[in-house]
Homo-oligomer: A and B are copies of this chain.
Amino acid sequence: MDNTSIIHIKDTNPARTRLVADWQTLMRTFIRPESDTGRPALIKYMEQILFGLHDFLKTHVGITEEISLKELADRFTDTRISDHPEKKLEHVIADLIQGIAPHAVNVASPFFVGHMTSAIPYFMVHLKTIVTALNQNVVKIETSKLVSIVEKQVLAKIHRLIFNSDDAFYREHVQNAETTLGCFVEDGTLANYTALWVARNQLLKPKGDFAGVERSGVGAALRTYGIDRCVILATRFGHFSLNKAAGLLGIGNENIVTVDTDARGRMDPGALDRTIRILQESGKSTRVMAVVGIAGTTETGAVDPLDRMADICRKNGIHFHVDAAWGGPTLMSEKYRDLLDGIAQADSVTIDGHKQFYMPMTCGMVFFKDPSALDAVAYYARYVNRPGSVDLGIKSISGSREANSLVLHSALKIMGSKGYALLIEHGIETAEAFAQEISKRSLFELVTPPTLNILTYRLCPPKLREKLQGGDAKEARRTARTINEINIALQRLQREAGKSFVSRTTLGGTDSLGEDRVVLRCVIMNPMTTLDTLKAVLDEQEALYRSYLV
- Does A550 touch B at the CB level, under 8 Å? no
CB <8 Å contact, A137 and B380? no
> Known: A73-B149, A104-B147, A361-B135. Contact between A83 and B125, CB under 8 A?
no
Bound Cα distance A123, B30 (Å): 9
- Does A69 touch B at the CB level, under 8 Å? yes
Residues of B within 8 Å of A216, CB to CB, are 252, 254-255
Bound Cα distance A215, B193 (Å): 16
CB <8 Å contact, B130 and A108? no
Given B43, B77, B506, which contacts A46 in the complex, CB threshold below 8 Å? B43
- Does A390 touch B at the CB level, under 8 Å? yes
Residues of B within 8 Å of A43, CB to CB, are 43, 46-47, 50
> Known: A129-B128, A211-B254, A397-B248. Contact between A76 and B149, CB under 8 A?
yes
State the Cβ distance, A103 to closest chain B Cβ, in Å.
Answer: 4
- Does A15 touch B at the CB level, under 8 Å? no
- Does A293 touch B at the CB level, under 8 Å? no
Residues of B within 8 Å of A137, CB to CB, are 107, 115, 117, 354, 361-362
> Known: A142-B501, A217-B255. Contact between A416 and B82, CB under 8 A?
yes
Residues of B within 8 Å of A362, CB to CB, are 137, 398, 400-402
Given B136, B156, B419, which contacts A107 in the complex, CB threshold below 8 Å? B136
- Does A369 touch B at the CB level, under 8 Å? no
State the Cβ distance, A291 to closest chain B Cβ, in Å.
Answer: 18
| Stretch of A92-100, A429-437, A536-544 on the interface side | A92-100
**How many copies are assembled?**
2
CB <8 Å contact, B54 and A32? yes
Among the interface residues A123, A143, A160, A244, which one has the most CB atoms of the partner chain B within 10 A? A143
- Does A489 touch B at the CB level, under 8 Å? no
- Does A20 touch B at the CB level, under 8 Å? yes
Among the interface residues A243, A400, A495, which one has the most CB atoms of the partner chain B within 10 A? A400
Given B220, B243, B383, which contacts A299 in the complex, CB threshold below 8 Å? B383
Query: Within residues 251 to 287 of chain A, which ones have a CB less than 8 A from any CB in chain B?
Result: 251-255
Residues of B within 8 Å of A383, CB to CB, are 298-299, 503-505, 521
Closest to A146 in B: B103
CB <8 Å contact, A143 and B105? yes
Closest to A16 in B: B413
- Fill in one digit per residue for A83-126: 1 if any B CB lies within 8 Å of its CB, else 0: 11111110011011100110111011000001101011111111
State the Cβ distance, A21 to closest chain B Cβ, in Å.
Answer: 4
Residues of B within 8 Å of A336, CB to CB, are none
State the Cβ distance, A282 to closest chain B Cβ, in Å.
Answer: 15
Given B136, B253, B400, B406, which contacts A215 in the complex, CB threshold below 8 Å? B253
Q: List 18 A-B contacts (CB under 8 A).
A: A23-B426, A29-B122, A30-B528, A64-B145, A72-B145, A81-B332, A82-B417, A85-B418, A87-B414, A92-B127, A93-B130, A107-B135, A107-B136, A115-B140, A216-B252, A216-B255, A218-B250, A384-B503
